[in-house]
Amino acid sequence: MAEFSLRQATQEDFPAIKALIHLVHINPTGLDWRRFVVAVSAGGEIVGCGQIKPQGDLRVLASIAVLPGWRERGVARAIIEHLLAAHTGALYLTCREHLGGFYEKFGFTVLDEADIPAQFRSMSRFVRLLRRLGVINEGLLVMRRL
């Protein structure tokens, strides 16, 4: 029997999705349970989630989160592959620098500053400023998959 399965989220899953997003310290904006896919353990626990959300006229792979005890077990990969299979066209994402190599495995490439869409530009500049000021120690990548 598989350790986990994937399914479309339900409204009843929303509290667990929000809790997971907050637990892993990623951006909690734009959470709509109707766009989420969840990974569920054999015991019924939500152990991971992800969504493709609209951001202006773009589509963004977002909210990829996995419980710490479930990492390195293929949960994030399965969620991402599921979401990518259901979506055609360009997809964007933002992530911490150390995750760039992970997303490159799915065909995402890092965008140069000049190629960053307007929807991400101010956030990218703000993160660079915080890094220069020493407030944070890791930058932000904006990536695209065609």
User: Which pair of structure tokens corresponds to residue 110?
Assistant: 């890092």
Residues 36 and 72 in one domain: yes
Q: How many domains is the chain partitioned into structurally?
A: 2
Does residue 80 share a domain with residue 100? Answer: no
If pLDDT is split at 50, 70 and 90, which confidence band does 125 have?
confident
d(CA 73, CA 135): 32
Check: CB of residue 94 under 8 Å from CB of residue 120.
yes
- Residues 29-64 have pLDDT tens digits of 879 999 999 999 999 999 999 999 998 899 999 999
Mean pLDDT of the chain: 93
**Same domain (yes/no): 9, 75:** yes
Q: Positive or negative CA dihedral for 18, 24, 90, 74?
A: negative
DSSP state of 55: E
User: Which residue range is the domain that position 97 belongs to?
Assistant: 89-146
10 Å Cβ neighbour count for 34?
10
Q: Are residues 4 and 39 in the same domain?
A: yes
68-80 core/surface letters (b: 16 or more CB in 10 A; e: else):
eebeebbbbebbb
User: Average pLDDT, stretch 84-105?
Assistant: 94
Per-residue pLDDT of 76-94, as tens digits, reads 999 999 999 999 889 999 9
pLDDT tier at 1, thresholds 50, 70, 90:
very low
What lies within 8 Å, CB to CB, of 4 at 6+ separation is 39, 40, 41, 42, 47, 48, 70, 73, 75, 78
Mean pLDDT of 65-74: 95
pLDDT band at 121 (very low <50, low <70, confident <90, very high): confident
